[in-house]
């Protein structure tokens, strides 16, 4: 496994719509392992493949006290409610801001063996699922801000 370099805004790879994965082979499984290691090394809650320069639809999420999630070709199939949450991003280091997110989401994806599964997320998991799937669509949380003055500087940040 290897720790990968995290791309930061305004790297253009963060703005590319990531491609769907047709076949989950060893190169994809290696990418997943490297992404997990990179996320853990960075104390992130989640990481999308384009954040490490690979424009493919892969996300890893590790919410504290919960199982590690690997999502290939994830799609949000249901959202409920809305709330404002404080958010940061490994690709926008040193800042955070309040953005609107659904309270709960249901996502469908494939796991590392290609098996389709569904996962419902609330609280931080719901937020992470929305944040990471936005990445795959070339979006950053700062896109929700009407005004960049809403960004606050921070010493510590989370994905």
Annotated catalytic residues are 132
- Cα gap 143→120, rounded to integer Å: 25
Q: Interface mask (CB under 5 A) for Zn ion, residues 76-105, using x and -?
A: -------------x----------------
4, 29, 20: which is closest to 91 by C-alpha?
Answer: 4
**Which one, 54 or 89, has the nearer CB to Zn ion?**
89
The minimum distance between CB 136 and Zn ion, in angstroms, equals 11
- Cα gap 148→142, rounded to integer Å: 8
Residue 152 pairs in a beta bridge with 96
Residues whose CB falls within 8 Å of the CB of residue 119, separated by 6 or more in sequence, listed in order: 69, 71, 106, 107, 109, 129
**Which one, 44 or 72, has the nearer CB to Zn ion?**
44
Q: How many residues in the shown chain lie near Zn ion by CB under 5 A?
A: 1
The minimum distance between CB 78 and Zn ion, in angstroms, equals 22
Report the residue closest to Zn ion, judged by CB. 89
Can residue 133 be called a binding residue for Zn ion (CB under 5 A)? Answer: no
**Which one, 4 or 89, has the nearer CB to Zn ion?**
89
Using DSSP bridges, classify how beta strands 58-61 and 69-80 pair: parallel, antiparallel or unpaired.
antiparallel
Site residues (CB under 5 A) for Zn ion?
89
């Amino acid at each position: 496994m290897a720790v990968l370099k995290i791309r930061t805004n305004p790297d253009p790879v963060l703005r590319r719509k990531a491609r769907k994965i047709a076949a989950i082979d060893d190169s994809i499984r290696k990418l997943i392992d490297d992404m997990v290691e990179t996320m853990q090394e960075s104390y992130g809650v989640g990481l999308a493949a384009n954040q490490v320069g690979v424009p493919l639809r892969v996300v890893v999420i590790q919410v504290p006290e919960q199982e590690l999630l690997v999502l290939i070709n994830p799609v949000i199939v249901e959202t409920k409610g809305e709330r404002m949450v404080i958010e940061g991003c490994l690709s926008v280091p040193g800042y955070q801001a309040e953005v609107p997110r659904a309270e709960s989401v249901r996502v469908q994806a494939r796991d590392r063996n290609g098996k389709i599964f569904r996962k419902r997320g609330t609280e931080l998991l719901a937020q992470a699922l929305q944040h990471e799937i936005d990445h795959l669509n070339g979006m950053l949380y700062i896109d929700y801000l009407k005004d960049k003055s809403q960004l606050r500087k921070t010493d510590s940040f989370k994905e």
